[in-house]
């Protein structure tokens, strides 16, 4: 795991240096397992991010914008009650574990000064954020409550005594002596890196390998008399760097700029395979790693429920479309009923009562036609019955076509929603799509619904090589704003041909536009569409004045004329 005990130690030192003595101004809980604390310390304002998510638990300072639920969650309200307005006394790491304790001096309801602790436990799926009363060591609450049914040894419930996670009898690298290390290694029967991993607290597998590599030893087997002083010196030097803050955190990225790992120390095994990005600030390195590493996974997690809802609705619409098409096909075949009615009317004198069929001459194609009859009806009633079937089918064709047209519009709209969900780059974009679905009646409003920003819509912005501005809508509502409120009538509008995607506006500013700018804008339209991974995507473009929105049309749905089509490669947009 990247966030091991050494990274935790470096973060704890940085937080203590910057936040000690700071005042807690605000507390937010954007997600069920996340906390953001606004702290004023010295002359600076900081944002402390804490996540107990099972796949990316962490604690560090952030600078990026955050979103907040309209109604604060219960744990957030509790933290505000007990911690807001308090001053941070100290931030320490528990031994060399992945546990950080924030000691906070605050005032209780009676006006007395009390001490609380906010504890961040980074332990994979068991990660948690716990607030306790320092004097009694009793839990006030935790972001994830753990009952006796889940863990018999350690319950995290209000009123319970707080217990640290089991230490597993490992030695903290802060307290490790050379004699202790020699004794540990002399008793082991397996490789050196595994011995370090199993004996020393807070060391991850990759850093255990790195210690052995820096000590220039062979990890696969232990020599009879290995120079263990080199191992101890390597660990000692690492500890001193953590204590002094003399670190150069590195993030390792692949050829697609996707982070693969990070650490406060150089990882030679990663450096051989991946490119290094060096940071001077540990929180910046952690933010970069998780924002770029987990953004796609996080966005998929956030959009999964939306995707399921939209997909389910799409499946129902496709089934409805199939049934309507089948009904239309049957109705269109009903033209024969009109013919039967005409032929029966022309041959009423030949029809005898109580016969179940008659063969008559079809004067349209000079053939004989057999017509089934209802024996309980008279010849004229049989003819009228066929006319009724024909008229009913004719009405059905009109109604089915209207329903089929509406169904196709709904499918196009939800296809565009799927496209925006798949191409979303931020949580905010996902939440804006969610809000659109709520307003459209596809989703129910949640109690802790995302509160949209009050600022104006901010579409993607680009510049062509010729210096012309291009804006790209991030969702259907933004598409409408961009096309009908932001763009001028003389600007150029782009959209992929018969493919869901964003509205793209090339701002002309009254100047003539080069073919190269047209090509660049069309490439962006293809990239921000469902055809992103294709190679030859058709894109329609026309002046904004030729784009119209039909009355009652769903967000983002338009019609246009006087358009031209260009074929582009979405990869050119990069």
Structure tokens at 569: 């490669």
Question: For 162-215, what is each residue's pLDDT tens digit?
Answer: 999 887 889 999 999 989 888 888 777 667 888 888 889 999 999 998 988 888
User: How much of the chain exceeds pLDDT 70, in percent?
Assistant: 94
CA 287, CA 495: separation in Å to the nearest integer? 35
Same domain, 265 and 318: no
Contact 75, 82 (CB under 8 A): no
* Mean predicted lDDT score pLDDT of the chain: 88
pLDDT band at 454 (very low <50, low <70, confident <90, very high): very low
Q: Provide CB contacts within 8 A for 355, sequence distance 6+.
A: 373, 375
Among 295, 323, 340, which residue terminates a domain? 295
With vertex at residue 194, the alpha carbon angle to CA 191 and CA 200, rounded to the nearest 5 degrees, is 130
Question: For 551-564, what is each residue's pLDDT tens digit?
Answer: 888 999 999 999 99
Q: CB-side exposure of 260: number of CA atoms within 13 Å?
A: 16
CATH, residue 271: 1.10.8.50
User: Which 3 state secondary structure label does DSSP give 33?
Assistant: coil
Contact 455, 392 (CB under 8 A): no
Q: How far is CA 53 from CA 32, 61, 275, 294, 526, in A?
A: 9, 17, 28, 12, 35
The yes-or-no verdict on residue 69 having pLDDT over 70 is yes
Same domain, 179 and 288: yes
**Strand 460-463 to strand 469-472: parallel, antiparallel, or no bridges (unpaired)?**
antiparallel
Contact 451, 69 (CB under 8 A): yes
Same domain, 291 and 337: no
Q: How far is CA 539 from CA 13, 390, 488, 562, 567, in A?
A: 54, 44, 20, 14, 6
Same domain, 287 and 334: no
Residue 297 pLDDT: 64
Same domain, 349 and 405: yes
Q: How far is CA 336 from CA 32, 341, 346, 361, 499, in A?
A: 64, 9, 15, 14, 39
The yes-or-no verdict on residue 294 having pLDDT over 80 is no
**Strand 171-172 to strand 200-201: parallel, antiparallel, or no bridges (unpaired)?**
parallel
Residue 37 pLDDT: 96
Tell me which residue range forms the domain holding 211: 171-295
Among 423, 449, 483, which residue terminates a domain? 423
* Segment holding 251, helix H or strand E: strand 250-253
Q: How far is CA 472 from CA 435, 460, 493, 495, in A?
A: 19, 5, 10, 10
3-state helix/strand/coil string of 193-206: HHHHHHHEECCCHH
CATH, residue 312: 1.10.287
Same domain, 138 and 13: yes
**Strand 547-548 to strand 250-253: parallel, antiparallel, or no bridges (unpaired)?**
unpaired
Residue 224 pLDDT: 45
Query: What count of other Cβ atoms lies within 10 Å of the Cβ of residue 8?
Result: 24
Angle between helices 192-199 and 205-214 (to 10 degrees): 130
CATH, residue 125: 2.30.310.10
Q: Provide CB contacts within 8 A for 9, sequence distance 6+.
A: 93, 96, 174, 202, 242
Between 263 and 220, the more confident residue is: 263
Is 330 part of any domain?
Answer: yes
Q: What is the DSSP letter of 165?
A: P
Is 21 part of any domain?
Answer: yes
Question: For 298-356, what is each residue's pLDDT tens digit?
Answer: 677 778 878 888 999 999 999 999 998 888 887 777 778 888 888 888 888 888 877 88
- N-term to C-term CA, the chain: 32
Instruction: Return the sign of the alpha-carbon dihedral for residues 51, 56, 62, 64.
Output: negative
CA 117, CA 380: separation in Å to the nearest integer? 94
**Strand 357-362 to strand 87-93: parallel, antiparallel, or no bridges (unpaired)?**
unpaired
Lowest-confidence region among 111-115, 129-133, 191-195, 520-524: 191-195
- Return the closest-CA partner of residue 370 out of 381, 355, 360, 380: 360
CA 391, CA 388: separation in Å to the nearest integer? 5
- Return the closest-CA partner of residue 167 out of 199, 205, 209: 199
Query: What count of other Cβ atoms lies within 10 Å of the Cβ of residue 315?
Result: 10
Residue 68 pLDDT: 73
Residue 215 pLDDT: 80
Is 446 part of any domain?
Answer: no
- The alpha carbons of the chain give a radius of gyration, in whole angstroms, of 35
- Please tell me the pTM assigned to this model: 0.67
Same domain, 268 and 351: no
User: Which 3 state secondary structure label does DSSP give 266?
Assistant: coil
DSSP, residue by residue, 489-528: TTSEEEEETTS-B--EEE--TTSPPPHHHHHHHHHHHHHT
Q: What is the DSSP letter of 572?
A: G
Query: What count of other Cβ atoms lies within 10 Å of the Cβ of residue 269?
Result: 13
Same domain, 245 and 132: no
Q: What length does the chain have?
A: 574
Q: What is the DSSP letter of 128?
A: E
Number of structural domains (the chain) is: 4
* Segment holding 470, helix H or strand E: strand 469-472
Give strand pairing partners of 565.
540
Is 442 part of any domain?
Answer: no
Structure tokens at 396: 């059905």
Same domain, 468 and 524: yes
The yes-or-no verdict on residue 226 having pLDDT over 70 is no
Structure tokens at 225: 């008399």
Is 156 part of any domain?
Answer: no
Phi first, then psi, for residue 37 (nearest 5°) are -115, 125
Is 159 part of any domain?
Answer: no
Is 445 part of any domain?
Answer: no
478-513: b (≥16 Cβ within 10 Å) or e? bbbbbbeebbeeebbbbbbbebbbbbbbbbbeeeeb
Contacts made by residues 155-160, CB under 8 angstroms, sequence distance 24+: 156/128, 156/130
Same domain, 538 and 496: yes
Same domain, 324 and 285: no
Structure tokens at 7: 């990274």
Same domain, 134 and 10: yes
Residue 222 pLDDT: 47
Among 271, 295, 319, which residue terminates a domain? 295
Q: What is the mean pLDDT of residues 395-424?
A: 89
User: How much of the chain exceeds pLDDT 90, in percent?
Assistant: 53
CA 484, CA 478: separation in Å to the nearest integer? 10
Is 153 part of any domain?
Answer: no
The yes-or-no verdict on residue 109 having pLDDT over 50 is yes
């Amino acid at each position: 795991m990247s966030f091991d005990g050494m990274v935790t130690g470096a973060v704890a030192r940085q937080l203590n240096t910057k936040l000690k003595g700071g005042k807690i101004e605000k507390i937010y809980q954007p997600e069920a397992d996340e906390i953001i604390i606004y702290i004023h310390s010295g002359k600076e304002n900081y944002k402390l991010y804490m996540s107990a998510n099972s796949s990316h638990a962490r604690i560090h300072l952030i600078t990026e914008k955050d979103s907040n639920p309209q109604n604060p969650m219960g744990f957030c309200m509790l933290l505000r009650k007990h911690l807001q307005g308090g001053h941070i006394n100290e931030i320490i790491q528990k031994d060399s574990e992945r546990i950080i304790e924030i000691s906070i001096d605050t005032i209780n309801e009676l006006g007395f000064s009390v001490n609380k602790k906010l504890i961040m436990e980074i332990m994979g799926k068991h990660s948690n954020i716990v607030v306790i009363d320092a004097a009694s060591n009793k839990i006030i609450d935790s972001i994830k409550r753990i009952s006796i049914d889940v863990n018999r040894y350690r319950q995290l419930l209000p009123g319970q005594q707080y217990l640290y996670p089991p230490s597993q009898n490992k030695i903290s690298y802060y307290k490790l002596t050379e004699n202790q290390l020699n004794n540990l290694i002399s008793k082991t029967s397996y490789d050196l890196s595994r011995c370090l991993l199993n004996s020393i607290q807070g060391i991850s597998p990759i850093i255990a390998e790195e210690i052995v590599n820096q000590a220039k030893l062979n990890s696969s087997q232990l020599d009879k008399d290995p120079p263990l002083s080199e191992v101890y010196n390597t660990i000692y030097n690492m500890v001193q760097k953590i204590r002094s803050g003399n670190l150069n955190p590195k993030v390792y990225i692949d050829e697609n700029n996707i982070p693969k790992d990070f650490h406060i120390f150089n990882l030679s095994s990663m450096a051989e395979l991946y490119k290094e990005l060096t940071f001077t600030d540990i929180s910046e390195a952690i933010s970069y790693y998780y924002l770029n590493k987990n953004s796609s996974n996080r966005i998929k997690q956030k959009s999964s429920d939306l995707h399921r809802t939209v997909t389910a609705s799409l499946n129902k619409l496709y089934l409805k479309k199939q049934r309507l098409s089948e009904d239309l096909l049957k109705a269109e075949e009903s033209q024969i009923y009109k013919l039967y009615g005409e032929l029966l009317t022309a041959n009423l004198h030949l029809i005898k009562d109580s016969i179940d069929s008659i063969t008559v001459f079809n004067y349209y194609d000079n053939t004989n036609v057999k017509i089934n009859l209802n024996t309980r009806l008279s010849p004229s009633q049989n003819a009228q019955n066929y006319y009724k079937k024909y008229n009913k089918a004719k009405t059905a064709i009109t109604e089915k076509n209207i329903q089929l047209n509406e169904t196709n519009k709904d499918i196009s709209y939800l296809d565009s929603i799927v496209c925006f969900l798949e191409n979303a780059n931020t949580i905010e974009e996902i939440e804006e799509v969610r809000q659109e679905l709520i307003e459209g009646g596809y989703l129910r409003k949640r109690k802790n619904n995302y509160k949209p920003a009050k600022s104006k819509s901010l579409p993607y912005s680009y510049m062509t090589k010729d210096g012309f501005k291009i804006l790209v809508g991030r969702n259907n509502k933004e598409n409408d704003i961009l096309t009908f409120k932001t763009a001028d009538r003389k600007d150029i509008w782009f959209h992929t041909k018969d493919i869901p995607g964003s509205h793209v506006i090339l701002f002309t500013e009254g100047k003539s536009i080069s073919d190269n700018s047209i090509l660049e804008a069309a490439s962006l339209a293809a990239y921000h569409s469902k055809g992103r991974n294709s190679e030859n995507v058709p894109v329609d473009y026309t002046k904004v004045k030729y784009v119209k929105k039909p009355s009652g049309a769903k967000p983002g749905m338009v019609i246009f004329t006087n358009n031209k089509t260009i074929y582009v490669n979405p990869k050119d947009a990069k």
